Amino acid sequence: MTDKRGDLLDKLKLVEERRALFEAGTASPGSTVIERVLGPCEVVIGGRPTLMFGSNNYLGLTFDPTVMAAARDAIVEYGTGTTGSRTANGTLALHEALERDMADWFGKQHALIFSTGYQANLSVIGGLCGPDDVILIDSDSHASIYDATRQTTSQVVAFRHNSPESLRKKLERLPAGQRNRLVVVEGLYSIRGDVASLRELVEVARAYGAYVLVDEAHSLGTFGPTGLGCAEAQGVLDQVDFVVGTFSKSLAGVGGVCVSDHKEVRSLHFLARAYVFTASGSPANVASVRAAVRVIRKHPELRDTLWVNIAQLREGLHKMGYVIGSTESPIVPIFTGDEARTIALWQKLLIEGLYVNLIVPPGCSRDDCLLRASCSAAHTPQQIAKALDILERARIDVGVTA
Ligand SMILES: Cc1ncc(COP(=O)(O)O)c(C=O)c1O
């Protein structure tokens, strides 16, 4: 009997065809398996010890002894999972304690935590916005922000990446006073590592009566005098209505948070679908994040080390002729252009023992590919020097020119 059920699977066949371009046994994009983790910056891939320069472990806390001990203790005290939603049986004293810690760290009145950073955006944007609202987002926004807007019935307007002028024009065109406006931007953009012009963006947003949400996923822990992110670094934290953060980067765990002085944010506890209809963060996770916050607050010098490492990596790449992004941040994009050459370079690096992130279509256009390297406070000067050495040899082998 012939199958008359149509072409539901055809889009997946395209993925299979693309994967078949890579010979069996060679590293292929999206399929890297880490066999062992030797430390915050070293793993085993394909049986080889590999330097990790592609993680978001910016402060290197995944192996911090106090963070690990907090996770172990929480398992003993609370078990492995919460087996329920925050709104049902999944709120432990631990969850509320982390919310108090977060509010205290940010100097904001309220905090709500989520099972992932992705769900934080889904919950906050989805819970806040309805048919009477307009959401204005940066065109380079993370998928979680785009997905969050898609589940609302709000009007969605994208403005040019990091352009206060474009935001102003979009706001100007909206009919006056009819709808609530929410401007959503990121502090530090996750692929190209550029920092948002928050001072100007916030000024424009507020001039047009808009609320402001800043997603500090990559900047929490890495920017600002006390590690609160780019809004703190640029002196506008008090003018931001909602700060979203994730635990999966500097905080070395999994989860997300929203802090705000608007008390209504706590009502998302009953309202936000991506919060209500999913299990809460596991005890080990929540406890480890509490410990990570304590470490970050107590050890600002971790950030100093991170910035020294960033300077070493950027200087080395620049000297050997790689084209890198102009913004100084823990994310160092290496612009390589052509897709085939970028994949060849990435594979060569991996074989030589260096992991960086590969950004190829659909993450970018075919001739705008890049490698995304990222720095950690836990990288040693020797590890950075070794990574640079691998990058230099691979560049010559693959024929990457400036
Ligand atoms: C800007 C931004 N927001 C949200 C997220 C989602 O965070 P998580 O991976 O913790 O769900 C990410 C993840 O990379 C991100 O870059």
Tens digits of per-residue pLDDT, 146-167? 999 999 999 999 999 999 999 9
Report the alpha-carbon distance of residue 227 to residue 296 in Å, rounded.
Answer: 7
Whether 374 is in the pocket of ligand 1, judged by its Cβ within 6 Å, is no
Q: What is the pLDDT of residue 205?
A: 98
Whether the predicted pLDDT of 400 surpasses 90: no
The backbone torsions φ and ψ at residue 138, rounded to the nearest 5 degrees and listed phi first, read -65, 140
Average pLDDT over residues 79-92: 98
**Which ligand 1 atom is at minimum distance from the Cα of 249?**
10
Q: What is the pLDDT of residue 25?
A: 66
Average pLDDT over residues 97-103: 98
Testing ligand 1's pocket by substitution, the residue of 119, 122, 137, 190 carrying the most ligand atoms inside 8 A of its CB is: 190
Q: What is the pLDDT of residue 81?
A: 98
Q: Sheet containing 42-45: which strands, arranged edge to edge?
A: 34-39, 42-45, 48-52, 354-355
Q: What is the pLDDT of residue 362?
A: 82
Q: What does the block give as tokens for 223?
A: 């920017």
Mean pLDDT across the chain, nearest whole number?
A: 95
Beta bridge partners of 373: 332
Q: What is the pLDDT of residue 240?
A: 98
Whether the predicted pLDDT of 393 surpasses 80: yes
pLDDT band at 24 (very low <50, low <70, confident <90, very high): low
What residue type is assigned to position 247 of the chain? F
Q: What is the pLDDT of residue 15?
A: 79
Whether the predicted pLDDT of 54 surpasses 80: yes
Residue 114, SS3? strand
Q: What does the block give as tokens for 135?
A: 């959401």
**Which ligand 1 atom is at minimum distance from the Cα of 246?**
10
pLDDT band at 6 (very low <50, low <70, confident <90, very high): confident
**Which ligand 1 atom is at minimum distance from the Cα of 189?**
1
Whether 140 is in the pocket of ligand 1, judged by its Cβ within 6 Å, is no
Q: At what angle do helices 283-298 and 93-106 cross, to 10 degrees?
A: 30
Average pLDDT over residues 87-116: 98
Q: What is the pLDDT of residue 2?
A: 64
Whether 90 is in the pocket of ligand 1, judged by its Cβ within 6 Å, is no
What residue type is assigned to position 62 of the chain? T
Report the alpha-carbon distance of residue 267 to residue 252 in Å, rounded.
Answer: 27
Testing ligand 1's pocket by substitution, the residue of 123, 144, 189, 249 carrying the most ligand atoms inside 8 A of its CB is: 144
What residue type is assigned to position 114 of the chain? F
Whether 290 is in the pocket of ligand 1, judged by its Cβ within 6 Å, is no
Report the alpha-carbon distance of residue 308 to residue 293 in Å, rounded.
Answer: 22
Residues of the chain with pLDDT > 90: what percent? 86
Whether 121 is in the pocket of ligand 1, judged by its Cβ within 6 Å, is yes
Whether the predicted pLDDT of 284 surpasses 70: yes
Nearest to residue 208, comparing CAs of 237, 169, 159?
169
Report the alpha-carbon distance of residue 58 to residue 339 in Å, rounded.
Answer: 27
3-state secondary structure 128-155: HCCCCEEEEEECCCCHHHHHHHHCCCCE
pLDDT band at 306 (very low <50, low <70, confident <90, very high): very high
Average pLDDT over residues 62-71: 98
